A and B are shown apart, each in its own frame.
Chain A
Amino acid sequence: MIKLTNIHKSYSTEFTNLHVLKGIDLHIKQGEFVSIMGSSGSGKSTLLNILGILDGYDEGEYYLNGNLIKNNSQVEAAGYRNNLIGFVFQSFNLLGFKTAKENVALPLYYQKVPRKERQERALEYLEQVGLREWADHFPNQMSGGQQQRVAIARALISNPKVLLADEPTGALDSKTSEDVMNIFKEVNDQGITIIIVTHEQEVAEKTNRIIRVSDGNIISTDVKQNSHI
């Protein structure tokens, strides 16, 4: 599903050249449930952005679902994001002026899905995250956990191959975090690859594989059973 070979990425300013990723090799198979861990500045967020085609890379090769993702045009990138990838963010990133249903339906708008079908599918996915009755509420009328569930429904509606989550529980209490992680688990059971960036050990331990990133390198890719520091 995802294959990274010798990925390098630097951010250069006028005075410094910050080498963030120093030759990442990573292979994630279809249907895996993976977490990426690392301290801040380790390069884990940059890695996730590259995986999400939100950011480019300097060297190496990235294959997503068999497509080489390199120097894509904005339109191509938008197409991949729309069709292959679903995003879940720490701060939910729902549009505040749209109802839960409208937020969930938004990716389908960019797929030019007819209006009626969008509405129906949005309700379906809200049902899946247990928020059907909240369809006509605005984000500011919902709790953090509910908002994140709406965001997950939104990420799933376009039927992506990969779900990328950047600190999805970072803004939630531990009980709510658990609910959200359970939803991820259910989604993963449907065969969707899930990659979660986190610094919380409890969250990482709910996944099947933990990839530890430090100083721009992958230092371990433990499988769950023997992942202990």
Chain B
Amino acid sequence: MIDVDKWEEIFSTIGRHKLRTALTAFGVFWGIFMLVLLLGAGNGLGNGISNTFRDDAINSIWLWRGKTSMAYAGFKEGRQIKFDNSDYDYLQEQFKDVESITGRFYLGGDKNVTYSNTTVSYPVRGVNPGHKLLMNSIITEGRYISDKDVDQNTKVAVIGKTVKENLFKDEEAIGKQINIGGIVYTVVGIFRDPGSEWDMRVIFIPISTAQTLYAGTDEIHQIMFTGGDLSSDEMMQLEKDILLALAEKKGFDPNDKQAVGSWNMAQEYQQFLSLLFAINSIVWLVGFFSIISGVIGVSNIMLIIVKERTKEIGIRKALGATPKSIVSMILQESVFLTAIAGYLGMVCGIGILFLLSGVETEFFRTPQVNFGVISVATLILVISGALAGLIPALKAAKINPVLAMKE
């Protein structure tokens, strides 16, 4: 049941001390408001970085050609290490259990690509079927490069969404012929990429076709692995094993870091995770202190309130107020004030996050906040405000009315 009189008392006290009320309320409001913004910003930062990683497979190892920096097995240092199809076959055989492997062959510069009367230049790459997993490409129509394409040097092309839109507009593209640098290919698939626009301007053809038709070689420019759901420790080990296997095959010093370049996404991701952890820790630390400062503010004000009302409490006691009624009068006021202010802080904070929810940049996107966490924080503030008020209130309730009235 709502005690009208008690609420009337509370509103009249609050009304009598507008500045004090405003300051207390603002302290609580600000604490919760900042906490919401901080947590939201932390999450936004995390979301942003997670999103950049969504572009390519999180667990990938990239290998590229290098020059030896150490003499080994009768070879002098400075020897160029190159990859070719036999290296690819060898690694594929050695690391059968790994999720996927792909080679990549670059056609130098962009190629002019023609369909009907339209000609545009695009980057063209020769790849193996495993490349789809590496890039996280999503096939929207048709299919990707297959093993059969690579075995038989077929002249098929998988084109990015942008290429399709530029060349074919609304026309059906699958099964149509396009001319890439003078050679005619059949379009077999269209892909979308979760990463940038740029990634969707690329055309993929079978690596074998690229090697033979444009360069007459069996050279491979890059070899990449994806590790599926391997842990980052397992990925680090895999990278070492791959380099060791290559050192044996190509005959370079296993300790030579220059012979083959390598880059492990798992390591990067690990760093990102620890960065995120650090950001979150700081956010929580700052949030914690903003809550603490709110609590201290409320406690201070409660002390002052009780001090100021000593005489009033004495009069009430002389008129028959029980200690319980005194304590509950003071506590209700404090709880009411902190709850309202905390709630407002929460609403404003979430409102601002809502306004920012459209923001999508590389490092910051869709800031959000766990409603449960914020509710608990508000509750903590309200409870500690009550506890802070409780001690002086209990003291006030024990006061000798005669002494209190003499104040």
A154 within 8 A of B: yes
CB atoms of A106 and B322 under 8 A apart: no
CA distance A154 to B397 in the complex (A): 21
CB atoms of A106 and B319 under 8 A apart: yes
B82: A residues at CB distance < 8 A: none
Within 8 A of A (CB), among B1-23: 4-5, 12-13, 16
CB atoms of B320 and A110 under 8 A apart: yes
With A55-B402, A75-B324 known as contacts, the answer to whether A110 contacts B318 (CB < 8 A) is no
* Chain A window 80-102, contacts with chain B (Cβ cutoff 8 Å), 1 for yes, 0 for no: 01110001010101110110000
Number of interface residues of B (CB under 8 A): 25
B323: A residues at CB distance < 8 A: 74-75, 78
A107 within 8 A of B: yes
The distance from the CB of B374 to the nearest CB of chain A, in whole angstroms, is 36
B397: A residues at CB distance < 8 A: 74
CB atoms of A75 and B319 under 8 A apart: no
- Closest A residue by C-beta to B317: A78
* Chain A window 119-141, contacts with chain B (Cβ cutoff 8 Å), 1 for yes, 0 for no: 00000000000000000000000
Within 8 A of A (CB), among B352-397: 397
Interface size class of A (residues with CB under 8 A): 20 to 34
B270 within 8 A of A: no
CB atoms of B321 and A95 under 8 A apart: no
B315 CB contact (under 8 Å) in A49, A74, A82, A95: A95
A111 CB contact (under 8 Å) in B12, B320, B405: B320
A81: B residues at CB distance < 8 A: 317-320
Interface contacts (Cβ under 8 Å), in number, total 62
CA distance A150 to B321 in the complex (A): 19
CB atoms of A97 and B320 under 8 A apart: no
CA distance A16 to B190 in the complex (A): 100
A109 CB contact (under 8 Å) in B5, B312, B318: B5
CA distance A75 to B85 in the complex (A): 95
The distance from the CB of B195 to the nearest CB of chain A, in whole angstroms, is 67
With A93-B315, A110-B325 known as contacts, the answer to whether A78 contacts B12 (CB < 8 A) is no
B400: A residues at CB distance < 8 A: 54-55
B401 within 8 A of A: yes
CA distance A89 to B324 in the complex (A): 24
- Closest B residue by C-beta to A89: B405
B318: A residues at CB distance < 8 A: 52, 54, 81, 87, 93
B317: A residues at CB distance < 8 A: 78, 81
* Chain A window 56-83, contacts with chain B (Cβ cutoff 8 Å), 1 for yes, 0 for no: 0000000000000000001100110111
A110: B residues at CB distance < 8 A: 316, 319-322, 325
- Closest A residue by C-beta to B398: A74
CA distance A107 to B16 in the complex (A): 22
The distance from the CB of B154 to the nearest CB of chain A, in whole angstroms, is 92
CB atoms of A93 and B405 under 8 A apart: yes
CB atoms of B401 and A54 under 8 A apart: yes
CA distance A110 to B401 in the complex (A): 16
A115 within 8 A of B: yes
With A74-B322, A75-B323, A78-B322 known as contacts, the answer to whether A54 contacts B4 (CB < 8 A) is no
CB atoms of B320 and A83 under 8 A apart: yes
B405: A residues at CB distance < 8 A: 89, 91, 93
* Highest count of chain B CB atoms <10 Å: which of A52, A78, A98: A78
B324: A residues at CB distance < 8 A: 75
CB atoms of B402 and A75 under 8 A apart: no
With A93-B315, A95-B315 known as contacts, the answer to whether A78 contacts B320 (CB < 8 A) is yes
A147 within 8 A of B: no
- Closest A residue by C-beta to B16: A97
A82: B residues at CB distance < 8 A: 319-320
A35 within 8 A of B: no
CB atoms of A106 and B316 under 8 A apart: yes
CA distance A38 to B122 in the complex (A): 111
CA distance A204 to B157 in the complex (A): 117
The distance from the CB of A72 to the nearest CB of chain B, in whole angstroms, is 12
A177 within 8 A of B: no
A148 within 8 A of B: no
The distance from the CB of B156 to the nearest CB of chain A, in whole angstroms, is 88
A158 within 8 A of B: yes
- Closest A residue by C-beta to B4: A115
CB atoms of B16 and A154 under 8 A apart: no
A106: B residues at CB distance < 8 A: 316, 319
A115: B residues at CB distance < 8 A: 4-5
CA distance A93 to B404 in the complex (A): 11
CA distance A94 to B315 in the complex (A): 8
A95: B residues at CB distance < 8 A: 312, 315
* Chain B window 292-319, contacts with chain A (Cβ cutoff 8 Å), 1 for yes, 0 for no: 0000000000000000000110111111
Q: List 19 A-B contacts (CB under 8 A).
A: A54-B400, A74-B397, A74-B398, A75-B322, A78-B320, A78-B322, A79-B322, A82-B320, A87-B318, A87-B319, A91-B405, A93-B311, A93-B314, A94-B315, A95-B312, A106-B316, A110-B319, A115-B4, A154-B319
- Which residues of A approach B to under 8 Å, CB–CB? 49, 52, 54-55, 74-75, 78-79, 81-83, 87, 89, 91, 93-95, 97-98, 106-107, 109-111, 115, 154, 158
Known A54-B401, A74-B398, A95-B312; further 18 A-B contacts with Cβ < 8 A: A52-B318, A54-B318, A55-B402, A74-B323, A75-B322, A75-B323, A81-B319, A82-B319, A83-B320, A87-B318, A87-B319, A93-B314, A97-B13, A98-B12, A106-B316, A106-B319, A110-B320, A110-B321
Identify the 9 closest CB pairs spanning chains A and B, nearest first: A82-B320, A110-B320, A78-B322, A107-B319, A74-B323, A93-B315, A81-B320, A54-B402, A87-B318
